[in-house]
Structure 1
Amino acid sequence: MTAAPAPRSPARARLVLAMLLVVYTFNFLDRQILSILATPIKADLHLSDAQFGAVGGLAFAILYSVLGVPLAFLADRTSRSGVVMWSLIVWSGFTALCGTATGYWQLFFYRLGVGVGEAGGVAPSYALISDYFPPERRARALAVYSLGIPIGLAGGVLLGGYIAALVDWQTAFIAVGAAGIVVAPLFRWLVRDVPRPVVSAQDTVPVSAVFAILARKPAFWLLAFGASFSSLCGYGLALWAPSVMIRSFHFSMIETGQFMGSLLLIGGVAGVFAGGWLADRLGRSDRGWYARLPAIAWAITAPMYALGLLAPSPWVAWPLLLIPNALNILWLGPVTTAVQHLVPPRMRATASGSFLFINNLIGLGVGPILMGGLSDHLKAANGVESLRYAAVGCLGFYVLAAILVLFAVPSLRRDWVDERA
């Protein structure tokens, strides 16, 4: 058998990053497809906005958040690429099962399963990227990986809209779930862990020790809660924005997919690239920029989203919404890089899992159901526009996110761990 390229060679690093990007795209494709299918699913299963918000957020977040830390710890102890592969199989399988749901609780259970699978995908991937890329290129590499978010979000609304319009919503779930299962063995064949020193039992760092290190660092808490409040808005809008377009602008499902898909892809790709490039460039001289950049972006995001969501027509809304769709995810490269550098390298996946636990429990667990519940509350007075006003009402969390992360700047400089640690 031909020997594989050197583990840290540029060619191998690019290949690994490309495969991780593919898997992350499926991660968000499987999440986002639910949003474009809201109208037919709610009609067929007789769901309220609050119930659909629970399916789209809380059901996914419960086990996704809780299992993220132990699966990250398992990845640090065993094979990071192996954990990612099995996670892809599990969440893709449950995504396909969503297409067989005939009631609220059955769909809720299957979304729990999607969360179980995706819990093991992100933190080990962050750690793999940190293994393959040097510190001066890490934020850009993590930003490239994070392109899976806008690509997956855009693909979810586009594919889901077309498949549901041409066939039905059940087929949309089954098709994207099956595709993920097919990709899993190819990922395992191409992606290998960087060899790590063998650690004896007495030298193994327990999860509690990683928690203890993070708990003493204000930068971790400020970054985690700042990102969480941003994600509360981001995940809520990801689930509900297509329904806002359908209700307020009377779009068809295909028109909604095209409108939202173009926003998510163009804005999201630009924002993720800008965040990674700027963080690596500015962060060389001042680590504080890894927090300052997201703070600036979120402060602009809130008012721009409000203007776009309240626009009188889609022609006015699209350019206004393009800016916040870029800025609201600019944080991904800078913040995830900063979290990686709050602990020594051998603890990276566990540290990322701890960060994601807070981020997803608040962002995913609260955002979609909060917007859905607020929409139900406002429906008597505002009718079909209730969801639009509910979305605008939640935008203040972006401002809170910006304030928290801005406070993290001085502590991040102090808490940063050099690569040699």
Structure 2
Amino acid sequence: MSINSVERGIGPAANPGYRAYVLGLLMVVYTFNFIDRQILAILAPYIKAELGFTDSQMGLLGGPAFAVVYSTLALPIAWLADRKSRTMIVATSLGVWSAFTALCGFAGGFWTLFLSRMGVGVGEAGGVAPSYSLVSDYFPKSQRARALAVYSFGVPIGTALGYLFGGILAALIDWRIAFIVVGLAGVLLAPLLKFTVKDPIRGGFDRAEPVEGAGAIVTPHVETKAASFGEVWAILLKKPSFWFLAFGAACSSVYGYGSAFWLPSFFQRSMGMEGVERAVYIAGIAFIGGTAGIWLGGWLADKLGKGIRKAAYPMVPAIGFIIAVPMFYLAMNVDNKWLAFALFLIPQALSLAWLGPVVTAVQHLVPAHMRSTASASFLLINNLVGIGLGIYLLGAVSDYLTPRFGEEALRYSLYVGQWFYGLAAILLLISARSLKRDWVD
């Protein structure tokens, strides 16, 4: 069977080696997404000390300043990505958010930093949904959850590197230098993505079929015309599983993003960690626990979700959230910091196990030519609620409790946030009831 026949079926996605390269590069881009998004968390104590911000103000910078524009702009950009080059959109977005991250290093007060963080959100709005769509078109259905899990490694790796590099640069040089260095690094990466990643045929793996004895996918495929917002939402409104998945993930993100932002400050205030030690400690938790959890979630969902068992996709992370709640509480209440480190790895892993399974399920609720817009709709809910509410809420609760608990107020704020994992588990379990009916093969 000729390679030309294969390429007519699925285009550049026919080459396994090239698929792996694209997935790896997109994961690196997603890593920069989270470095730039989360670096503010490790720099918060330094910024507060120099500029005199409260926890509520830091919560506004980490949450609404970023989330409102990030979430709302993601939808029109995803609509464009269903029609134009997804590679161009992701590369341009990377350059924009990285440049604004560098500008954060020049902020002189609250509002200049607030506007720079809004700029980061504007850029990152075009990064994730088109990338989800690219990954889904580069890998067959049987490998998609694992591929999306590998892509999602950018979350723990980026978070860990943001903690590590940001914390070390701030401790040894200055917090402003941390913003500038990581921002400029992302700007330099954008051209590599633009010029080396091809936009694959949309839905090629979904419609192509293997020919017996050939070992290759040869069915020609013609891309379907991109759908309008109205057409995508007309489908989503009829699928209850989408809404339970979206709001379940959003509830998990309230505490997921909130704890990721405030745990570095908790380690300083309640565990006495400073500087490089704190950066290495939190980076290790984010990297080891996060990568293990994301891969476990994707592997289990692909293994258990074969055939008719679609309910496994939301059930795997739901069970993880139920276990994560008491483990987080236990980890925050042991005296030995290395025992706490080991305990923190468990809820960190379980809290991120949802990414591969839930994102895969969302991809299969609509036809291939609607995936970017459907993903952006999911992300609109997840990020507007999760990032917009979680980081600010925990900061505001900490300020409210400070008169009573002093430096320990943040501890009790983190306790309050853990209840959102329980709500997330309930919503995901409900989504499992209708997912098989709503699934699009």
Task: Give the corresponding residue for 1:284.
Answer: 306
In 2, Cα distance between equivalents of 1:330 and 1:70: 28
Identify which of 138, 155, 159 aligns with 2:165: 159
Task: Give the corresponding residue for 2:191.
Answer: 185
Match for 1:357: what amino acid? L
Task: Give the corresponding residue for 1:123.
Answer: 129
What count of residue pairs does the alignment treat as equivalent?
A: 414
Task: Give the corresponding residue for 2:144.
Answer: 138
Q: Does the aligned pair in 2 maintain the 1:309–1:392 contact within 8 Å?
A: no
In 2, Cα distance between equivalents of 1:312 and 1:381: 23
Matches within 5 A, 1:402-417: 402-417=425-440
Render the CA deviation track for 1:352-388: whole Å, top value 9, x for unaligned: 0000000000000000000000000110111101011
Q: Does the aligned pair in 1 maintain the 2:31–2:154 contact within 8 Å?
A: yes
For 1:120, what is the secondary structure of its paired residue?
coil
For 1:315, what is the secondary structure of its paired residue?
helix
* 1:371 matched to 2:377: no
In 1, Cα distance between equivalents of 2:369 and 2:419: 37
Task: Give the corresponding residue for 2:335.
Answer: 312
Task: Give the corresponding residue for 1:56.
Answer: 62
Match for 2:271: what amino acid? F
Matches within 5 A, 1:147-296: 147-196=153-202, 204-285=226-307, 286-296=309-319
In 2, Cα distance between equivalents of 1:222 and 1:260: 31
The normalised TM-score by structure 2 is 0.92
Q: CA deviation at 1:199?
A: 6.7
Q: CA deviation at 1:316?
A: 3.0
In 1, Cα distance between equivalents of 2:83 and 2:282: 40
Render the CA deviation track for 1:236-292: whole Å, top value 9, x for unaligned: 011100000000111112111111011111101100110111110100030110011
Q: CA deviation at 1:12?
A: 1.4
Q: Sequence identity, in percent?
A: 54
Q: CA deviation at 1:315?
A: 2.7
Identify which of 357, 373, 377 aligns with 1:354: 377
Identify which of 328, 342, 353 aligns with 2:365: 342
In 2, Cα distance between equivalents of 1:150 and 1:395: 19
Change (3 A) 1:395 1:174: same
Render the CA deviation track for 1:184-235: whole Å, top value 9, x for unaligned: 00111111101357779xx542111101111110100000000000000000
Flag as ranges the 4+ runs of structure 1 deviating above 4 A. 196-200
Identify which of 66, 69, 74 aligns with 2:72: 66
Q: Does the aligned pair in 2 maintain the 1:249–1:313 contact within 8 Å?
A: no
For 2:53, what is the secondary structure of its paired residue?
coil
* 1:83 matched to 2:89: yes
* 1:396 matched to 2:419: yes
Task: Give the corresponding residue for 1:325.
Answer: 348
* 1:386 matched to 2:392: no
In 2, Cα distance between equivalents of 1:242 and 1:163: 15
Structure 1 unmatched runs, 5+? none
Match for 1:372: what amino acid? G
For 1:192, what is the secondary structure of its paired residue?
coil
Q: Does the aligned pair in 1 maintain the 2:145–2:298 contact within 8 Å?
A: yes
Task: Give the corresponding residue for 1:42.
Answer: 48
Q: Does the aligned pair in 2 maintain the 1:81–1:191 contact within 8 Å?
A: yes
In 1, Cα distance between equivalents of 2:335 and 2:166: 26
**RMSD, matched Cα:** 1.4
Q: Does the aligned pair in 1 maintain the 2:82–2:226 contact within 8 Å?
A: no
Render the CA deviation track for 1:15-43: whole Å, top value 9, x for unaligned: 11011001000000111111111111011
Q: Does the aligned pair in 1 maintain the 2:318–2:426 contact within 8 Å?
A: yes
